[in-house]
Structure 1
Amino acid sequence: MKKEKNGYRSLPIIISCLLLALPNISALSIGSAPGVYDLGLVDPGDNIVFRYYLITTSTSDLLVNVKYIAAHRNIFFNEKTRPYLFIPSQASEESVANWVEPIKNPVLVSPATKKTIYLPGGGVVRANGYADIRLKVPSDAEPGFHAGAINLNPQLTGGGRGTGVSTLAVTRPVFVFQVSGEAVRKGDIVNILADRTGEERAIINVMFQNTGTDTVSAKLTYLKIFDKVGNVIANLNAPLSYCSPGEIHVFPVNWRSEKITPGVYRMEAKVSYTTGYATHVLDVEIPEKITIIPSKGEKKKRVEAFPSCSLLFYAIIACILLLILSYFLLGGYDNIQYVYAGIIFLLIVFVLWYLIQCMALLNMLDILLFLIILVLIIYLIWG
């Protein structure tokens, strides 16, 4: 029993040795000040440079790569007046990725550098480095509030002792600014169209037009389809898309149901664009004719088909002209029938090829041409 007690006493020592043998695990963080940079009112064509001060808990130097990243969409859901100004109802959601560039990249953030900075809002930070950002506002920038963010990607430069695992906690500073001019966020549903794509399938196209001055993110919140007695037989939706000013964006919705039959359906659509929405109720006809909509792969296959229908058509015409010329120029030769047979063989091949490959493109003129060719072939062989 005494030996067993000594074993229990040695257990904490064993655990301590195991913990010391494990790699050192350290948690590092890098932040910025200010967290949200308000650049205020700017004009199209302005060139602005602003600075983020960087703070770290690392005991080693860090090289930080600075890159633009889109601001989180939550900023367009909440109006802010303090500590920065951002009004979503007067905001544009156009991308500002091409407007932003770091002046120096990467930047050094060192714990040996400790500079006291007094921020405009009254705060005080001890900065270990900084990153300067240039904003070039294009001359055709949409009016209203804009938002963006900066991604900080730090890397340890080395110099630590032993092996270890570093966990980096990084903040993404945001910047906002307002481009001068009247900002209008508005849109309307201009039409709803339908095509029948199968016995139990249809595609409904909800057409939304941005009638404002700013790019908006819009989504088809719902498309309700009613039967003749007013019951909802389908409730569909479509994902988020971005719509620029004046653009008519089509939200395609696939409807699959045993209840799909040709006829007129009452449809109600709602498109939300974050700060507002548009609704539309319309009687939409689903036609009896089934329209086959080719997939992207099928479209590509059609484009790459060789020979093309026009090339086959010209080959048929060339064979006919060759037959006529042979008849007038080589009619006196003894073996002219072999020439006729070869040309007629090619003519039949091209005609059959055209029929198989280009049947969907036939019209009455094509059919008349084929009849003339057929009569000509029969005449030349048996005439």
Structure 2
Amino acid sequence: MTDFTATKTLFDLPPGVTYLDGNSLGPLPRATEARVARAVREEWGGHLISAWNACGWMEMPRRLGDRIGRLIGAEPGHTVIGDTLSIKVFQALAAALKLNPERRVILSDTGNFPTDLYMAEGLLKLLPEGYELRTVAPEDVAAHITEEVAVTLITEVDYRTGRRHDMARLTELAHARGALTIWDLAHSAGAFPVHMSDCHADFAVGCTYKYLNAGPGAPAFIYVAPRHADRAEPALAGWMGHAAPFAFDLGYRAGEGIERMRVGTPPVLQMAALDSALEIWDTVDLAALRTRALELGDRFIAKVEAQTDLALATPRAPEDRGSQVSFRHPEGYAVMQALIAEGVIGDFRAPDILRFGITPLYIDEADIDHAADTLARILATGTWDRPEFKARKAVT
């Protein structure tokens, strides 16, 4: 059983702040500063370029990939770290289409994160005529997995509402109809148990700066199922994915298995931050995390609904939601800015979503109660209705 009172002490949260935005950017683990400083001073500073060998930098993407693999139910040796989530989406999508060459439809949904759709659109511009990106309402995905579909591109948890797709059911349905699956785990990894192997999913991608707390700009990960590992062709054939990077061949030869999904030089300092953050996860029981997150989420919903007339955007049924709670308000941006000004940090997603991450590693009942009470007071007094709270910032 995980001691969530103890895990809260492992994070460096500013005094007076209630942080309900870990689903956007996780807070700083206390051990990370020293770990990154060691990578700077002792590894980079002390070893210079020999640190690639002496300090294990070259192997870090695979080693860290396996640590994340444990959190997403992946087979060892089939997850690797590197690059950005957008790049990993592109890689997975290109590889999946090549594995299913007789089909031309990518199926996604209107609740998917826009970048995933942008990457699909960009890829299709590079392919011959006849390929199509088809988007449907999230609740209609199952009905649209037809024999035309080459691959489904689905974010398991809707970034706005927190609605959660049934990964096992949709993967089984896709396979029954001859389609492959790509799951974006940006709002899943570190939020609840994920079962890539048990679900027989084909590909997965995700980021590490949200629930995994690796810091802004932290690298993404990609998972490729063992049955595809030596057949998936990396459209982005970077030197780190070459079978022998330091042979400096003029032609590309794909590396073995998941190694071929590496692209460019890995971000060593960010991987050091991720390495530190993952030490916390070594102490966490994911089933207990899920139970705790649902308890706190239910508590927040009940308290907000008891004190306000906000419309709940998140599914009420626990099995249908991820680890966030969202409410709708026509002036959601201003309301959120007023909350932030009082030290309760969530975020806003257009057009009207107030979004709150429920992260038990560092959030408890007192935080939930304070956030709900502060939100109710802001709405009751109308303090959100000020010009300074309506002025849009670059990041919402």
User: Is the structural similarity TM-score above 0.5?
Assistant: no
TM-score by length of 1: 0.23
More helix by share: 2
Task: Decide which structure has the larger Cα Rg and report it.
Answer: 1
More strand by share: 1
**Structure of greater relative contact order (alpha carbons < 8 Å, 6+ residues apart):** 2
